[in-house]
A and B are shown apart, each in its own frame.
Chain A
Amino acid sequence: MLEARLEQAGVLKKVVDAIRDLVQDINFDCNDSGIALQAMDNSHVALVSMLLKSEGFSPYRLDRNIALGINLTSLTKVLRCAQNEDILTLKAEDTPDTLSLIFENAENDRISEYELKLMDIDQEHLGIPETEYAAAISMPSAEFQRICRDLIQLSDSVTIEASKEGVKFSCSGDIGSGSVTLRQQNNVDKPDLSTKIELTEPVTLTFSLKYLVNFCKASALSSVVTLSLSNEVPLLVEYAMGSGFVRFYLAPKIGED
């Protein structure tokens, strides 16, 4: 059986919020490393991969590996019944038909228990190749979200240009064009507000803004986002959490110019 206790229900709420526009039905794979999921959107342009490490739970008990087939819309409904500060416990049998979610509110000694019906989801996993990226940019996640939301008003795609000087996000559409450039900068007082670029060679790629704006819903999970780019491979957008991550991969557009 599975028993996993999460100090803050908010973490799972935010994770589900971040991915539910990309996929509907998904397997939560529970094994010794923790609870993981991986899924592609219908058009196979984007992939999301998430891990909540077992260390993030206290306790984390698992007798044998199980897959919890979950409809994210349904899970969202149940998670709405939890407050961010509630303690969340997930429980399931070895061959589960349902997932139990227990929310404990320490403040007023309330215990809420929900059972969510599970489904059989036939899902292939994609082995994600090890990649040496040409450029890795880490920046405040709020900044990245703002840039994507601003630029999508002008165009449905953005060109990301990483060079030694900085990173430039540019787009052009029917009404005109726009660009935002961030220079490398180190904020000593607030490291989360720094922009860092690790570069082996300059790289310029174009992506669909619709997807990026979607990914940005994960900004609530982490104040820092890392964008990793190389030619001919999908962009990696990573939100790291204390004990886990949400990673989005997005195939670049071709033939834009």
Chain B
Amino acid sequence: MAEEDSQPLPEELSDAGIEVAGETAKEAAKILPSIDNAKILKGETYTYHSPIPKSIQEDPKGEVILGVDEAGRGPVLGPMVYAVAYCLKSDNPMLREHKFDDSKKLTHTLRTNLLQTLTTPDTTLHRNLGWSTISLSPRDISSGMLRSSSSSTYNLNAQAFDATAALITAVLAGGVNVREIYVDTVGTASTYQSKLLKLFPNIAITVSKKADSIYPIVSAASVCAKVTRDAAIEVLVPEGEEIGSGYPGDEKTKGWLKRGMDPVFGWEVGMARFSWATAKDMLEGGGKSGGVGGGVEVVWPGEDGAEQTITGLWGGAAGGGWYGRSVHGEF
């Protein structure tokens, strides 16, 4: 998934045109229940749960399948969104009828329409499909990855796994009889599967590559994640600014990062992932990265916690009058 993800999405930009895509996303941002403007702008991670669909409420013992997918793992900008989607196993064919597929294969407009239908009461989708998202903010992703000691860093995979587990746990806690889980792989499928199995021993768990195009329920999750992320970007990016694809390799994205960087504080915490090499190098600039960016070198005198200084110690001893005396007086 990471490989696929790391490519910009030219087909998306060309199919509808940036303007049109931007407009629809803006519309979506207004109505999407999984978008919380205030939290996105503040850089807070938050979770959204749809109500439990009517069909599941009416048939609480019915077997439910659940799909997990993510959007925005690779980009240096914006939140990483994990989504689960779930429905009665018997409703699976209904998803195919709605043409759910890997979110990258659907056009922006198609995806947005699907989610619009999903959030409109009295539609088949709304009655049958439940979904939840967790939007991991750039601030939280970065502060996890950049913890000071390497033994305590909270890497992206671990954050992704915990987000997934939290979403599934919440759905189960709602009384949904989940029997099968399908996950698009992060890293090696088998290790991910066994980790999930430990948490959910009574559920059949399938972790596979390309799950988002094989299993419609994962496709549904993938659409929820992608549309939520795109809408979040619309919330974050000021009108008329060109950020490119958001991927670190994209020149437009780099250009935006450079233009918008404060030499001391970098970027809005809700916007940029400081832990991405692209951002880190720019902000460190002038340092060992060889002056790539225009960041100011920040010296943290108290970094080691309890270091005194030579000047502090001797300044006291010599009554503070140590300035300007020649060192040669000593010899």
Contact = CB atoms under 8 A, between A and B. Distances in A.
B261 to A, nearest CB: 24
20 contacts: A33-B331, A34-B331, A38-B327, A42-B299, A43-B307, A44-B301, A44-B312, A49-B327, A125-B326, A125-B327, A126-B327, A127-B322, A127-B327, A128-B314, A128-B327, A129-B318, A208-B304, A233-B317, A251-B309, A253-B308
Interface in B272-331: 299, 301, 304-314, 317-318, 322-331
A232 B310 CA distance: 10
A232 B313 contact: yes
B90 interface: no
A253 B306 contact: yes
Given A43-B309, A45-B307, A129-B317, A33 B328 contact: yes
B151 interface: yes
Chain B's interface size range is 20 to 34
A110 B274 CA distance: 54
B317 A254 contact: no
A17 B324 CA distance: 27
A27 to B, nearest CB: 10
Given A36-B328, A36-B331, A38-B327, A126 B306 contact: no
Nearest to A33: B331
A129 B327 contact: no
Interface of B: 149, 151, 299, 301, 304-314, 317-318, 322-331
Contacts of B324: 124-125
B315 to A, nearest CB: 9
A254 B309 CA distance: 11
Nearest to B314: A129
The 4 closest A-B pairs by CB, nearest first: A127-B325, A44-B309, A251-B308, A125-B327
Interface residues of A, number: 35
Given A43-B301, A127-B318, A253-B304, A29 B310 contact: no
Contacts of B311: 40, 44, 126
Interface in A30-83: 31, 33-34, 36, 38, 40, 42-47, 49, 51
Nearest to A65: B328
A174 B149 CA distance: 10
Interface string A223-257: 00000000011100000000000000111111110
A256 B306 contact: yes
Given A33-B331, A36-B331, A129-B317, A45 B309 contact: yes
